[in-house]
Amino acid sequence: MRAAFITQPGPPDCIQVGEIPDPHCDDSHVLVRVRAASVNPIDTYIRNGANYWPLPNPFVIGCDFAGEIVRVGKHASHLHEGQRVWGSNQGLMGRQGTFAQYAAIEPRWIYPSPDSVNDRDLAATALVGITAHLGLFHRAKLQPGETVFVRGGTGGVGAMVVQMAKAVGARVITTAGSPEKADRCRQLGADEVIEYRTTETKEALARFSPHGVDVFWETLREPDFELAVAGLAPNGRMVLMAGRDARPPFPVGPFYVKGCSLLGFAMFAVAAEIQQQAAMDINHWIDSGKLRAQIDRVLPLGESAEAHRLQESNTVAKSGILQGKLVIDID
Binding-site ranges for ligand NAP (CB under 6 A): 40-42, 128, 131, 151-152, 154-158, 175-177, 181, 196, 219-221, 241-242, 265-267, 314-315, 318, 320
Considering the complex, state which of residue 151 and residue 308 has its C-beta at the smaller distance from ligand NAP. 151
3-class DSSP state of 9: coil
Which residues are within 8 A (CB) of 129 and not within 5 positions of it... i.e. 6 or more apart?
Answer: 160, 164, 278, 282, 291
| Least separation in angstroms between CB 75 and ligand NAP | 28
| Least separation in angstroms between CB 235 and ligand NAP | 23
- Cis preceding linkage at 223, omega within 30: no
Considering the complex, state which of residue 223 and residue 236 has its C-beta at the smaller distance from ligand NAP. 223
| Least separation in angstroms between CB 191 and ligand NAP | 17
Considering the complex, state which of residue 102 and residue 111 has its C-beta at the smaller distance from ligand NAP. 111
Distance CA 52, CA 43 (A): 12
Distance CA 60, CA 6 (A): 7
| Least separation in angstroms between CB 88 and ligand NAP | 10
Considering the complex, state which of residue 12 and residue 23 has its C-beta at the smaller distance from ligand NAP. 12
| Least separation in angstroms between CB 136 and ligand NAP | 13
Distance CA 142, CA 165 (A): 8
In a 10 Å sphere around its CB, with 0-12 CB exposed, 13-18 middle and 19+ buried, how is residue 14 labelled? middle
Considering the complex, state which of residue 155 and residue 189 has its C-beta at the smaller distance from ligand NAP. 155
Q: Please say whether the beta carbons of 79 and 58 come within 8 A.
A: no
Distance CA 295, CA 154 (A): 10
| Least separation in angstroms between CB 315 and ligand NAP | 3
Of 32, 121, 124, 134, whose CA–CA distance to 83 is shortest? 32
Considering the complex, state which of residue 23 and residue 135 has its C-beta at the smaller distance from ligand NAP. 135
Q: Please say whether the beta carbons of 39 and 326 come within 8 A.
A: yes
Of 124, 181, 139, 279, whose CA–CA distance to 148 is shortest? 139
Considering the complex, state which of residue 283 and residue 314 has its C-beta at the smaller distance from ligand NAP. 314
| Least separation in angstroms between CB 21 and ligand NAP | 30
Size of the chain in residues: 331
Hey, which residues does 176 pair with through a beta bridge? 195
